[in-house]
Every structure is written in structure tokens, then in C-alpha cells.
Amino acid sequence: MTTQERTEAERYQPQDVERRWQERWAESGLYRIPDHVPGRENWYALTMFPYTSGDLHIGHWFAMAPSDALARYRRMRGHNVLFPIGFDAFGLPAENAAIKGGSKHPMDWTMANIDRMRGQLKRMGAMFDWEREVNTSAPEYYRWTQWWFLQLYKMGLAYRAEAAANWCPFDQTVLANEQVVDGKCERCDTPVVQRLMEQWFLRTTHYAEELLDNEGLDWPEHVKLMQRNWIGRSEGAEVSFALEAPTEDGTDEIRVFTTRPDTLCGVTFMVLAPEHPLVRQLTTPDRREAVEAYLDAAARATEIERQSTERPKTGVFTGAYCVNRLTGDRVQIWTADYVLYTYGTGAVMGVPAHDQRDFDLAREYDIPVKVVIAPAGWDGADLEAAYTEPGTMVHSGQFDGLPSEQAKKAITDYLEGQGWGRARVVYRLRDWLVSRQRYWGAPIPMVYCDECGIVPVPESELPVALPYDVEFKPTGESPLARSDEFVNVACPSCSGPARRETDTMDTFMCSSWYFMRYPDARNEAMPVSSEAATAWLPVDQYTGGAEHATMHLLYARFFYKAARDAGIVPGDEPFTRYFAQGQILGPDGRRMSKSRGNVVAPDGQVERWGADTFRAYLMFLGPWEQGGPYDVDGIVGVSRWLHRVWSLVTAPPELVDAPEDEGSQALLRAAHRTLERVTDDLERYRMNTMVSALMELTNAMQRQRESGATDRRAWEETVRLLALMLGPACPHLAEELWSRNGGAYSVHEQAWPMPDPALLREERIEIPVQVNGRVRDRVLVAADASEEAVRAAALASERVAEHLEGREVARVVYVPGRLLNIVLK
């Protein structure tokens, strides 16, 4: 067939192909997944659901299309694969849109976005089971988020405590961290302060040990490591220091946590976090002004600034003293912002000789430095920096001479015997603050009654529904607090007048259990039945961005453990396998954003190139876990390739019965080698090299077609394998080619083929020959050639011989089947 004839043949028209098959798939219910299919094991594949921001972003495609490919591959491997989708629909942007735009209600804004995004998602051609769609802002969903909150409360995992929030004094409202820019309110530039208020917490620390133990999870090591560091387990001691003068409310001690009880005798000062309630109680009148000024300044610093080791240490003396019970030393009490109130006891002992931060502060303010652990060979001179290594105890009374590692236990035991302290483990992980002073979230189902106190809303009264008519303007209270209709309620316990909790829940609550809902998305009696839970949970394969490594993924693990303890879900972990995909960037290599003007809309790409091309390009452009820039010019290469695929299948070479034809057999071998590579790449989430391998195969087909008549069986087998291998990445085109070749509907229900080992074997292989590690020639030998044979072939090479001339061979390194290296003396 000539080029001209081929151009007259039917062209590949992706829009047409994709529309037809999407309709057929929907009509035939190809992606409606029952809970059980005889002979097929269930596989739960999950991609993180999108936040309802308005339009599907390229990032969503980058997350979902490869995930869909993996799900389709699993299906072809014989599983009954659930691949659901939904919407993370509560959150700040909806409320901001209402405040800024002024016209759109968060619910209307969100619902309109969902409608638009659903349409965009459908053009992706993913195997989503739309029957199971969830929307976290729908009362049918959030009633169960509220139900979970009640279960956690019953289990003692929810409690109220004071916590600080960003407060804008002008707008009289709480700000999210991202609304604070350079310490100021993004709306009005007013300096933001920290304000304490009563809020709800979930006791994530209850599961700290279990969350720490993530070794068994089939997750990326770096994500597991980040989680372990985030949880941050530290062993040490809690130590009580006696206040010289008790406070008005009778407090007579300061409790500190230290990982270095061995340095206790080296304490020369005490530091309280600025938020510590004792600071104001202890400050002496002459220090009042300085301390208040310091606390004001500290309330404006971010935690990141406060923990910087580069920023000069600051602090202020409160004027008060306490006593180191072990030594009887009188110790100054300071407050300094490098001490965090949220960690340990919010107070630390200052041991400048053996802690660098304490050393820095002591230097800054001329506080004495007392060495209690001698470095090897120490001559008693002043230290230039804190000595933080182990050593021998000195200036520590009865503990002198002990190795410091032993002294940790000895001192802790002694303190415990005296009632002055105890061994303790603390975590960097904090309990989860779930209260949000906002409208667009699931209301916390609690009622405050003057008679009965805190009363949970009875489960039968769920959902506590969000009222539609509310005022969004920032006014000092959350919108719900201004809704009389919402706030005023009869106490569920005594029926007297009571007030509803007006805070809503962190949206991470909604996303911590959505994957438990998909298995039973329409259940009105329970969040999930035990039948559906055992059919699908835990998730076999979760995929999503690494930016969720420590928050969403840790919250979800916490939630699952609580759900397990409530007897609702099987297993201990929500996600058996997790893969962290990278982030797609703008063509300029920076994060896509409207303000940078580097946003590429996926809709435009789909319209211009078709969904299959766009999908394959996203998989092709780099390793999935790395992400990278989206180059709008590169996609044409994938488009050309798929047109070529189309042409090869619809306009084959002359097909003859020629099983002996060398070119045809080489093509068949190439097809089976490709199958082996593609299978391996899919198992390892390497969709970029999978596409490359498929391109190489089509290049080989092209060469074969140009070379003339081809053995029918070899060609047809190659085409059959190609259609099957295209299934995961390019589901529409694969279906079309499969059907045109007489394959039974649907290609997506076919079994994944296995390569024929006989066709994978090579007869002759090329071995590079190095001299002193540099390649000088390559020799062709039998695949099973012995080392001697390879050596002989190498020495027979003229090019090798040139480099050996007049030199003596020191050794020869042979890597079987890979390489020969001749090392000269």
C-alpha cells in the first residue's frame, strides 16, 4: 500500500471514537461494579477525590488517568475492581467566594462546580463507578461525618480544650494560615494575633504508637519516614522543679520534659513557652513590662520562625525563681519563644552546656554555663558550643563518674523514688484540632445546656443540618453563631433551652473516611454495612499526591483505627498499598496558577487531541512519582504515535502465509518482549517507560510494513497484543481497534496476555568489551556463551588488541551476559 492510498484511508478521529465508546460503556454498565463477582477477587483501587474548586485541573488528570490505567490493568488481571469517585466539597474557598464575590452561596457555588467537574471527569474515560459517587457536603454524607464524631466522643477520643487560632482584630474573625500574609490579615493588612478559644480535639496521640509502626505497609519508604518523623517519638523524663513561691492558685511546681535527664545538674535556667499560663502568674512587677512586650511579640511570630535555628535566640527573665530539687540550686525562670507550648509540657530546663539552643540563649544573656558531662579529654575550659554527645558525669554529686547514657536511667529512677519526676515518652504529634469557626463544613453535633453541660446530639436527630440563610460577612462570630434558628435548641437531655455548637469540622474529617463510604454509598442506616466493608476494605491501592503524606494520610489512618475499634471495618490500616504521584507544573516549570498565567486547561487539550492522547501524554512525560512541567508542544508526539497505531491496524501490510519469514518472526518476538516490559512497567507504576515500549513496538511494526509482505499470524498476533496493551492507557482507542479486529466486547474484560517464553529467548547477544573501564568494542556471541568464549572473542577483536598492545593484563572482569572488562597493569 502506498502512502497516498493510506492517506485516503479512514483517519483516526479521537473525538468520534471516544464519544461512541463512552456512550456504549455507559449503556452497557461496563463500569458498574457489584460487591461480588463469582471467580473474581475484589480489588479496591482508589484515587484521591478532588476538591470542588471549579474546574478540573491538569493535576487532577495527572493523578487520575494513570490511576485509572492501573485499575484497568488490575481488572484485566482478573480482579473485580472498584474504582470510585466523589467530591471533597466542604472548605474555605467556597466561603471565600461567598464573602468576596458576594453573590454566590457556598452551597450553590459548590453544586455548580460539582456539575461542571462531573462532566469533565466523564470525558476522561475512566472506569469510575458513578453509582457510588459521594459528595461530602451533602446532608446524606455529612450526617455520617457527624455520626463518626459522636462515636469518637463516646470512645473518649474527642474532647474540648483551649487552643490558639489566628485572629484578625479588625475583621473580628479567625483566619486560616494561608490567609495570614507576613503576619497580617490578607484582607485588611491588620497584624494578626494568636487568640485562645475553646475548641474540639480528636485524640490522635492515643494511637501514636500504632501509627508509628508503619513498617508493614506497602507504601513508599520516604512517606513512611515522613510520618515517623512527624509523629516524633522521644523517650525521656518529666521533671518537677519547685517554685520558690507558689502562685495564687496554689501551683508550686514547674514540670518540664527532657530527653536528657543526665544533664539535670547542669540546669542554669528554666524556660516556659510564652503561652504557658505560669508565665503571667510568675512574672514579678518589675519585669511585667518587659515580659508583656515579649509575649506580644511572640504572639506574632509563626511557629516556623520560632523554631528556626538561624534566628538569634531571644527570651526574657520573668523575675521568678525555682529550685532544682536534685542540686538545691536556685534557677531563674525565663520565657522564650523557641519553646513550644504544644510540645511536651510547654516548659524546658535550660542546660546551656549540653543543648545548643540553650547555649545560644545563655550566651546572648550571660547566663552561666555549667558542664556536667565531660567530653573525652576535657580540661575544664569553657565550651565553644554545646557538648551534646555522651560522656562522663561530673559536677553531679552522687552520679559523678557514671557514663552519661547510664546516668539517664539512674537519675530518672532516683527522681521517681523521690516523687520528683518519672520516665515519660512524648510525641511531636499533636492531637487533632477539628473545630473551625466557619459555615461551610459539617456542624459539630454537640449541644451546650446550662443544666446538663455538654450533650451530644442523639444519632436519631442527625444530620444537624446547615441552615441555608446565613450572613457570611466577617463579624466576629462564625456565620452559624448568628443564626438564631440554628443556635437555639432544646437540650436533648432535659429539653430545656440550650445552644448548639456553632463550629464546624475540619474538612480533613470528611476526607478521613470517604473511602469507607464508597463501598456502601447509598446506605441510609449506617455509614457502611459490615458486608460492604468486608467486601472492599481496606483499600488495596491508594494513589495521590505526596503533599498529603503527613496530614490526610495520617488522619485517615487514625480514623481507620478508631473505626476498627468501633467494630465497623476490618484490618488495622486503611490503605494496604499507597503510591505518591508527583505534581504537574506549568510549562515554565513552576506551579500552575492563574496569577502566573501558566495554567493549561485540560479541556482544551482533550478537545484538541482527544482524551486517550492526553492520558498517554501525561503518563509519558516522566516518572509518575516525580511529576514535572507540562509541555504543550510535546503532546504532538503522542498524537502522531496514536495516529500511526491507527494506521498500522487499519492499513496493514500485505498479509501472507510465511511463518519462516525472518522479519515477521522478529516482529512477533518484539511484541512479546514489549508485553514483558509493559507488564513489568505496570507492576512498578512506570507508565512513562510503558508508553516508550509501546512506541518502540509500533516503530518496529512500521518498519515491517515498509519492508513488504508479512506473515499473517505474526502480524495479527502483534496487533492483538497491541490492542490489549493499549487498554490501560488508551481505553477508547484500544476498544475501537479490538472491535475492528473482531474482538468480543469489551477489550477491558479480556484477560491480560502473558508473553511466550520461547519467543523471549535470544540466540545471540552483544557483549561490550572494555579496556580499563572504557568500551573499545562489542562482540556478538551465543546467548549461553561461556566466559572463555567471550574472552576469546574479545581478544580476537582488532580494536581491543590495539589497546592491549605492549601492556600486561592484570585481571579480567566478566559479568555474564552483560559486559567484559580487561584491566591492565
Q: Any contact of residue 764 with RNA (CB under 7 A)? A: no
Residue 17 vs 510, nearer CB to RNA: 510
Residues 6 or more apart whose CB falls under 8 angstroms from that of 293 comprise: none
| Shortest separation between residue 63's beta carbon and RNA, angstroms | 11
Q: Any contact of residue 327 with RNA (CB under 7 A)? A: no
Dist. CA 552–CA 558, nearest whole Å = 10
3-class DSSP state for residue 474? Answer: coil
Q: Any contact of residue 172 with RNA (CB under 7 A)? A: no
| Shortest separation between residue 420's beta carbon and RNA, angstroms | 28
- 533 CB burial (10 A radius; 0-12, 13-18, 19+): buried
Give the binding range for RNA (CB under 7 A) out of 241-249, 601-609, 711-719, 775-783: 775-783
Give the binding range for RNA (CB under 7 A) out of 86-94, 127-135, 386-394, 788-796: 86-94
- Within 579-598, the residues that bind RNA by CB under 7 A are 583, 589-591
Give the binding range for RNA (CB under 7 A) out of 181-189, 447-455, 657-665, 769-777: 769-777
Element (H, E) at 456: strand 453-456
DSSP β-bridge partners for residue 197: 163
Place of cell 520516665: 423
3-class DSSP state for residue 615? Answer: helix
Window 804-823: contact mask with RNA (x via CB under 7 A):
-------x-x-x--xx-x-x
Residue 174 vs 369, nearer CB to RNA: 174
CB atoms within 10 A of CB 615: 31
- Within 195-224, the residues that bind RNA by CB under 7 A are 199, 221-223
Residue 363 vs 643, nearer CB to RNA: 643
- Within 430-489, the residues that bind RNA by CB under 7 A are 430, 432-433, 435-438
Dist. CA 504–CA 509, nearest whole Å = 10
328: alpha, beta or left? (left if phi > 0; alpha if psi -120 to 50): left
Applying CB under 7 A, among 137, 268, 345, 688 the residue interacting with RNA is 688
Applying CB under 7 A, among 176, 452, 795, 804 the residue interacting with RNA is 176
Residue 156 vs 773, nearer CB to RNA: 773
Residue 225 vs 783, nearer CB to RNA: 225
Applying CB under 7 A, among 326, 429, 618, 675 the residue interacting with RNA is 429
The DSSP-derived string for 787-818 is HHHHHHHHHT-HHHHHHHTT--EEEEEEETTT
- Whole-number Cα distances in Å, 135 to 115, 204, 485, 508: 11, 25, 25, 14
Q: What is the dihedral of CA 793, 798, 804, 810, to 10 degrees?
A: -10
Residues 6 or more apart whose CB falls under 8 angstroms from that of 308 comprise: none
Contact 272, 335 (CB under 8 A): yes
- Alpha helices by DSSP H, listed for 303-439, are 303-306, 356-365, 404-418
Q: Any contact of residue 548 with RNA (CB under 7 A)? A: yes
Give the binding range for RNA (CB under 7 A) out of 405-413, 571-579, 595-603, 624-632: 624-632
In degrees and rounded to multiples of 5, residue 500 shows phi and psi of -80, 150
The DSSP-derived string for 115-167 is HHHHHHHHTTT----GGG-EETTSHHHHHHHHHHHHHHHHTT-EEEEEEEEEE
| Shortest separation between residue 552's beta carbon and RNA, angstroms | 7
Give the binding range for RNA (CB under 7 A) out of 362-370, 394-402, 504-512, 717-725: 504-512
Q: Any contact of residue 337 with RNA (CB under 7 A)? A: no
Applying CB under 7 A, among 104, 206, 395, 428 the residue interacting with RNA is 428
Applying CB under 7 A, among 626, 654, 760, 784 the residue interacting with RNA is 626
- Within 129-168, the residues that bind RNA by CB under 7 A are 165-166
Q: Any contact of residue 233 with RNA (CB under 7 A)? A: no
| Shortest separation between residue 266's beta carbon and RNA, angstroms | 23
Residue 116 vs 778, nearer CB to RNA: 778
- Residue-wise over 63-81: b if at least 16 C-beta within 10 A, else e? bbbbbbbbbbbbbbeebbb
Window 252-281: contact mask with RNA (x via CB under 7 A):
------------------------------
Place of cell 461551610: 440
- 631 CB burial (10 A radius; 0-12, 13-18, 19+): middle
Q: Any contact of residue 504 with RNA (CB under 7 A)? A: no
Applying CB under 7 A, among 156, 328, 773, 806 the residue interacting with RNA is 773
Residue 533 vs 697, nearer CB to RNA: 697
| Shortest separation between residue 644's beta carbon and RNA, angstroms | 5
Applying CB under 7 A, among 35, 122, 230, 570 the residue interacting with RNA is 230
Residue 300 vs 778, nearer CB to RNA: 778
Q: Any contact of residue 770 with RNA (CB under 7 A)? A: yes
Q: Any contact of residue 182 with RNA (CB under 7 A)? A: no
- Alpha helices by DSSP H, listed for 301-440, are 303-306, 356-365, 404-418
Give 779's DSSP letter. E
Q: Any contact of residue 356 with RNA (CB under 7 A)? A: no
| Shortest separation between residue 290's beta carbon and RNA, angstroms | 26
Applying CB under 7 A, among 150, 447, 638, 785 the residue interacting with RNA is 638
- Computed on alpha carbons and rounded to an integer, the radius of gyration of the chain in Å comes to 34
- Within 19-78, the residues that bind RNA by CB under 7 A are 51
The Cβ-side half-sphere exposure at 668, using a 13 Å CA radius, reads 21
Element (H, E) at 80: strand 79-82
Dist. CA 88–CA 507, nearest whole Å = 8
Dist. CA 396–CA 324, nearest whole Å = 12
Residue 239 vs 695, nearer CB to RNA: 695
Applying CB under 7 A, among 640, 740, 761, 807 the residue interacting with RNA is 640
Applying CB under 7 A, among 178, 248, 366, 384 the residue interacting with RNA is 178
Number of residues located near RNA, criterion CB under 7 A: 102
| Shortest separation between residue 148's beta carbon and RNA, angstroms | 17
- Within 693-712, the residues that bind RNA by CB under 7 A are 695-696, 699, 702-703, 706
- Within 89-118, the residues that bind RNA by CB under 7 A are 90-93
- 442 CB burial (10 A radius; 0-12, 13-18, 19+): buried
Q: Any contact of residue 634 with RNA (CB under 7 A)? A: yes
Element (H, E) at 435: strand 435-436
Contact 478, 441 (CB under 8 A): no
Determine the Cα angle at 134 with ends 128 and 139, to 5°: 165
Applying CB under 7 A, among 631, 676, 716, 756 the residue interacting with RNA is 631
DSSP β-bridge partners for residue 696: none
| Shortest separation between residue 51's beta carbon and RNA, angstroms | 3
Give the binding range for RNA (CB under 7 A) out of 176-184, 271-279, 601-609, 649-657: 176-184
| Shortest separation between residue 743's beta carbon and RNA, angstroms | 25
CB atoms within 10 A of CB 114: 20
Give the binding range for RNA (CB under 7 A) out of 302-310, 313-321, 567-575, 716-724: 302-310
Give the binding range for RNA (CB under 7 A) out of 63-71, 262-270, 488-496, 763-771: 763-771
